[in-house]
Chain A
């Protein structure tokens, strides 16, 4: 142990003395570790964002969207889901504690005094807040009476509240939604942006009944409904049951594709992870390549160094260094350098990924994991590419080494 420390102190000494070699190796390793750090942070960020989204969506929730999967954009989807479908689901699944139909219209003009905003109009049933686990921070949620009475009331998002009302309290005030006066009953808490850049807080939520009859002139079809189950672990089973029920109600023959789409938390995660995936793969390839290049730079500079320091090796061997002492010393030099490279690279990665978030909508998240992965990789490069030169140094014959 004492000997190990002494030999490694010689490594540290050489790392300081041979500065040029140290800085070249260090920089090339740092470059690789920096990009690896960004990847790990981005991957973690993507997952974290995905799980945050699922938390908002509800891990126990399913979203059923009208129309087949072919026509993706919501506005273009065929009307296939009816209010009767929603009622049937409510009756068929006793464990579904929330079954809410919804509708939405994009780019609806909402005005208050001289201020205007193009916003998302959502038609929902009572207890919107509970259905979306989305707290109301001012005023109150939509009630059963609001729905039954087709009342002109609205719940607004934080962004819309700020845009229209500024410092004023919106609750009780009237806004115009497509020239219909609507009283604001509550304000939702802030949820921010989605990874795709959609502002969740820019919306007004009104009773579904009011939106359908007064704005859409629609009495039967809903574009989407949401179901939440008390037993989350059976969500896969419910997804399938729900699909069978709707297929039966829609009288779809076997082989015919679904004329609706069920979105589960799993799909949301898959989608969001795939979104950052391509960038991660790109930086990943860059990272791995630069680490391999760094390894070769290190191996080459160390082989040169072993040649240059043949006499030193001979001296050490003649005064009693064993092969393993020499190997340990050179390996120690390599690992010390790559460790420093790893630390510098991690710092550069932190800075780099913050810069990246300025340029692109790119969720990043740093944890000890990125740090540990970077450190382990730098050790791997140090040992992997340092071993050959170190063994070459160790295997020099003392009599040949001492003669230079």
Chain B
């Protein structure tokens, strides 16, 4: 089946792109393996206008509902391969279906960055976690550590402080790079202890679950810290492999290079959200949504041949 537009990625950028595409009456399909994308992991969103406090899941579900209400079609799978044809692109998904489209919006976001240290894979789901809201409750009255210094790391530490007995926040630099409003809340929380300029080099366990971590330098004369859980919040790496396979230019960190209207160097391919380099370091629901809207508008103009 030939579509005018296929959007890859079901986070705020892709969902917004679909909302706009529906309103432009562009025949389109949204393909994404993770409905809601990264926002689903956010326990509290306090900076998306119109909602003074909303969970990431609630916001994601509202966006998905809005997409469907407008007639947008969502396929909950992954795109494995994209081939460039004469005037179109052919996509193959994980369930071995093929789709053809005239234009593409790549909104594949980021994948969670791993520490790549011994014990990380072995103890995943056994004390190692990338989601404090999901797994915090398994550590009631226990000791945990969070790795990272961003908004995600600090909000995770705050969330965990409400459950655990003790929370270490371990950051390789100084000072924390989270928004001042979060740092202020962190400083008022007696259960959290911040360890600066330190890296976690190994995750230790008893084969069944995590029992501690090894640091690259001593903290209070001890290079090992006893923890029951380790939450890794060190950001994401762009999911730009598909784009790269089509000859789309990436920046030095692997993000897709876009022009202000979200087009790339390849005709017919647009990008939006965390995978694109449009909003610099700011990876927010609102920037992703805005970029999704811009991308759909550009696709609309591209399909109509405006500005050619």
- Are A and B a genuine interacting pair, yes or no? no
